[in-house]
Structure formats: C-alpha cells, structure tokens
Amino acid sequence: MEDHYLCQKLILAINAGSSSLKFQLIRMPEEELVTKGLVERIGLKDSIFTIEVDGEKVKNSTRYQGSC
C-alpha cells in the first residue's frame, strides 16, 4: 500500500431515516466527493441500492430473504 493512501483525510456523512439511508464519502481538505449512495425502502422486498462512483451511477434492486 502506498503511503499517500494512509495520509488521506476522509469524512463519511450518513443520513439515516426510517426506511432509507444516504451516505457520502468526502476527501478533505479539498471537499471532493469520492462516492455517494442511497438505500431506499429498507426492510421491504423491493429495496433499492444506488451508488455513484466517479460520477457514474450504478443501481441495484435487491431482494433479501429477511425482507417482510
């Protein structure tokens, strides 16, 4: 692992609601957005996980055995 990865300052911001979770990973002090994502309809059969990396969105619908 290169040394510059060990010295990065990152902030993980999380906003959790009753059925959703949003997050952002921000590189400091540049305030550069590294990645962001959203989980919607948590606990339901048709929950959705969306993540954006390098400005490119990936959307993944999920079905979990533990869903109501």
> Does residue 7 form part of some domain?
yes
Largest CA distance in the chain: 45
The range of the structural domain enclosing residue 41 comes to 3-61
pTM over 0.95: no
Q: Give the chain's end-to-end CA distance (angstroms, integer).
A: 42
> Does residue 26 form part of some domain?
yes
> Does residue 56 form part of some domain?
yes
Checking if the pLDDT of 68 tops 80, the result is no
> Does residue 42 form part of some domain?
yes
Which tens digit of pLDDT belongs to each residue from 19-52?
A: 999 999 999 999 999 999 999 999 888 888 999 9
